[in-house]
Amino acid sequence: MLKQSDVMENLVSKIYNINDTICALATPIGVSALSTIRLSGSKSFSIGDAVFKPIKKETKLSDALTHTIHYGVLHSKNTEIVDEVLLSVFRNPHSYTGEDMIEISCHGSVYIQQQIIQLLVDQGARLAKHGEFTLRAFLNKKMDLSQAEAVADLIASDSISSHKLAIQQMRGGFSSKINELRKQLLDFSSLIELELDFSEEDVQFANRDKLSELLDNIFKEINSLISSFSVGNVLKNGIPVAIIGKPNVGKSTLLNAILNEEKAIVSDIPGTTRDVIEDTFAIKGITFRFIDTAGLRSHTTDKIESLGIVKTYEKIEQAVFILYVFDVSLSSFKEINDDVSDLLEKINDKNKHLILIANKTDQLIETPKGFKNLVELETIFVSAKRKENINLIAEFLVKTMESQTNFNNTIVSNARHYEALKNTLRSVEIIQSGIDNDISSDLFTTDIRTALHYLGEITGNITSDDILNNIFSSFCIGK
């Protein structure tokens, strides 16, 4: 759970910075012909001008009249065109929020939506929290009480835990890495605070060289995370779907059936897929990344193969969907049931979806034993070889994603983490330049606090009490 913070929260409590310019998707996530992204706040027009290239070259959003529409393209910093759009300009107080506002009508691809939001964030906008546009509308007296109450409920439903869950879903080991770095920085911060608050006493001093080393580490880690993590990538890379099962149940054939191409090596020799093979496939606008894995044999002497199995478990960790494939013509229900309970125990995450795929229906001579039980487990019966019922898998995936409110949050929180990572990077640079310029500890700790705050935004906030507790438990102080 996120820890409720006090001091740090105060320090950079971003939620209520009503001076910030905020942006978010205003239409539902997913694919449609068009979607709308909303940008609201005092910097809306300057941000708009920075990313928008109008067809009429002389148009400047900053000078545009309220309630006018402008046609042009959005481009990234290196002038790469992201999308053709229509921008609607609303000047305060004549807008939904009562502030200066732009609505961007863009094409309805999830990828494009995220690219645009990232552009806006890069220019200094911040992602809106759930209900924040409405909150501003309310604060600017743009709506009445009953509407406002609805917003209150909406905000309340935006639970913090789903936010955290989202990272785990998408990135697996990501948050633990950040946590580790944060812990190291927190320890360091404690050392320096110790120096400051207890300097009269016989305390050790924080080693600045070690801090530089740590900062360098953080810098590298965050940088690589940012490049692997940038918002578009997650969506471009797709929602991970792991295909697992015993050797030779037809996982690779299933992957090929889904992708419609010969990707994996398919043979009758069990254990052919030694590495993990991945490919992405868009179904109804949502991109899924299918991952074929080595078969899960409990006893294998082949080193390469057992390595493959380790990788398989890693992929299960990262996946949102796990397709458990079994040979319906050969397996007994008990066997499957045992395997599934084993798996569920290993996965132990309610937010991963385990789907049973009964393959090789083409080989069935009679109704399989335990058919009724399998149906109860919502098993999908397919024949990968004949490409029968493959569409059922696709439909199931899409339906689940669409019905999942977390999906929305996941994407939002991805963008939010991108923002936090960038801020962390910036503050780490400031700390380092402080060390280089030998600035005094009081200033220096201010910068460390800022960095800790941003890292905390990703992992759960920290408090000044954390630092004090850390000090009290680790050092002998007090006269």
Partner 1 sequence: MLLEYDIIVVGAGHAGCEAAAAAANLGSKVLLISMSMSNFAQMSCNPAMGGIAKGQIVREIDALGGYSGIVTDNTMIQFKILNKSKGPAMWSPRAQSDRFLFSAKWRELLESIENLDFRQDNVVSLLIKNKKIEGVKTELGLEIKAKSVILTNGTFLNGIIHIGEKNFKSGRIGEMHSEGLTQNLNKLGIESKRMKTGTPVRIDGRSIDYSKMIEQKGDEEPKKFSFLRTPKLQNQRSCYITYTNSEVHEILKTGFNKSPMFEGRIRGVGPRYCPSIEDKINRFADKENHQLFIEPEGWNTCEIYLNGFSSSLPEEIQYKALLKIPGLEKVKIFRPGYAIEYDYFPPEQLSVALESKVIENLYMAGQINGTTGYEEAACQGLMAGINAHLKLNKKPPFVLKRSEAYIGVLIDDLITKGTNEPYRMFTSRAEYRILLRQDNADSRLTPKANEIGLVTSERKNLLNEKQNNISELFKFIEKFKVEPEQINALLIEKETSPIDQKVTLKQLLSRPQIFINDLINNIDVFRDFVKSNIIIEKEDSLEEVEILTKYEGYISKEQDLAEKIGRLEELNINENLDYYKLTSLSSEAREKLNKIKPRTIGQASRISGVSPSDISVLIVYLGR
Task: Tally Cβ neighbours within 10 Å of residue 63.
Answer: 10
Residues 73-132 that bind partner 1 (CB under 8 A): 129-132
Q: Which of 86, 226, 344, 439 binds partner 1 (CB under 8 A)?
A: 439
Structure tokens at 93: 């107080």
Rounded to an integer, what distance in angstroms lies between the CA atom of residue 200 and that of residue 330?
76
Which segment (78-86, 149-157, 223-231, 308-316) binds partner 1 by CB under 8 A? Answer: 149-157
Which segment (229-237, 261-269, 401-409, 436-444) binds partner 1 by CB under 8 A? Answer: 436-444
Q: Which is nearer to partner 1, 14 or 75 (CB)?
A: 14
Count, in order, helices (H) and strands (E) of the chain. 17, 13
Residues 11-70 that bind partner 1 (CB under 8 A): 11-13, 15-19
Residues 6+ apart with CB under 8 A from 376: none
Q: Which is nearer to partner 1, 283 or 439 (CB)?
A: 439
Q: Closest approach of Cβ 384 to partner 1, in Å?
A: 45
Q: Closest approach of Cβ 330 to partner 1, in Å?
A: 51
Q: Helix (H, G, I), strand (E, B), or coil: what is residue 325?
A: strand
Which segment (148-156, 225-233, 312-320, 363-371) binds partner 1 by CB under 8 A? Answer: 148-156
339, 324 contact by CB (below 8 A): yes
Residues 202-231 that bind partner 1 (CB under 8 A): 202
Q: Which is nearer to partner 1, 339 or 466 (CB)?
A: 466
Q: Which is nearer to partner 1, 195 or 349 (CB)?
A: 195
Rounded to an integer, what distance in angstroms lies between the CA atom of residue 216 and that of residue 127?
28
Residues 6+ apart with CB under 8 A from 360: 249, 250, 327, 328, 329, 330, 383, 384, 385
Q: Closest approach of Cβ 469 to partner 1, in Å?
A: 9
Q: Which residue's entry shows tokens 């066997």?
A: 335
The most distant pair of C-alpha atoms in the chain lies apart, rounded to whole Å, by 85
Q: Which of 34, 55, 81, 196 binds partner 1 (CB under 8 A)?
A: 196
Q: Which of 84, 122, 158, 187 binds partner 1 (CB under 8 A)?
A: 158
Q: Closest approach of Cβ 475 to partner 1, in Å?
A: 8
Q: Which is nearer to partner 1, 398 or 439 (CB)?
A: 439
Q: Which is nearer to partner 1, 116 or 471 (CB)?
A: 471
Q: Helix (H, G, I), strand (E, B), or coil: what is residue 197?
A: helix
Interface with partner 1, residue 200, by CB under 8 A: yes
Q: Which residue's entry shows tokens 């789903």?
A: 162
Rounded to an integer, what distance in angstroms lies between the CA atom of residue 164 and that of residue 372?
37
Long-range contacts of 405-410 (CB under 8 A, 24+ apart): 405/162, 406/162, 406/165, 406/166, 406/169, 406/351, 407/29, 408/29, 409/158, 409/162, 409/163, 409/166, 410/166, 410/169, 410/170
376, 355 contact by CB (below 8 A): no
Interface with partner 1, residue 156, by CB under 8 A: yes
Q: Closest approach of Cβ 20 to partner 1, in Å?
A: 9
Q: Which is nearer to partner 1, 6 or 213 (CB)?
A: 6
Structure tokens at 249: 């149940």
Q: Closest approach of Cβ 355 to partner 1, in Å?
A: 32
Q: Closest approach of Cβ 160 to partner 1, in Å?
A: 6
Interface with partner 1, residue 151, by CB under 8 A: yes
Interface with partner 1, residue 155, by CB under 8 A: yes
Q: Which is nearer to partner 1, 227 or 437 (CB)?
A: 437
Q: Please tell me the count of residues contacting partner 1 according to CB under 8 A.
A: 60
Residue 240 backbone phi and psi in degrees, to 5: -70, 130
Q: Closest approach of Cβ 454 to partner 1, in Å?
A: 14
Q: Which residue's entry shows tokens 């835990």?
A: 161
Residues 444-463 that bind partner 1 (CB under 8 A): 445-446, 449
- CA distances from residue 445 to 165, 358, 431 in whole angstroms, order as listed: 31, 59, 9
Interface with partner 1, residue 146, by CB under 8 A: no
The contact set with partner 1 (CB under 8 A) reads 2, 4, 6-13, 15-19, 129-132, 135, 138-139, 145, 148-149, 151-153, 155-156, 158-160, 193, 195-202, 437-443, 445-446, 449, 464, 467-468, 472, 476-479
